[in-house]
Amino acid sequence: MLATDMDRATASAAAAGGAEKRAYVQRIFSEIAPRYDLLNHVLSLNIDRRWRRKAIARLGVERDQAGRYLDLCAGTMDVALEISSLPGFRGLVIGADFAEPMLRAGAKKVTGGRIAPVTADAVELPLQSGQLAGAIVAFGIRNVAGLETSLREAFRVLAPGGRFVILEFSTPRMRVVRALYQSYFHRVLPLIGRLISGHRTAYTYLPRSVANFPVEEELAKKMTDAGFTKVTWSSLSFGVAAIHVGERPITAIRAK
Could you read off the pLDDT of 118-166 as tens digits, one per residue?
999 999 999 999 999 999 999 999 999 999 999 999 999 999 999 999 9
Q: How confident is the model at residue 1 (pLDDT cuts 50, 70, 90)?
A: very low
CA distances 109 to 37, 148, 213, 250, Å, are 11, 32, 30, 35
pLDDT at 241 over 50: yes
The pLDDT value recorded for residue 45 is 76
pLDDT beyond 90 at 43: no
pTM of the model: 0.90
Domain boundaries, the chain: 3-247
Cα(54)–Cα(167) distance, integer angstroms? 9
| DSSP of 178-193 | HHHHHHIIIIIHHHHH
Residues 78/88, Cβ–Cβ less than 8 Å: no
The rounded mean pLDDT for the chain is 89
Q: CATH number of 3-247: 1.10.3210.10, 2.40.10.10, 3.40.50.150, 3.40.309.10?
A: 3.40.50.150
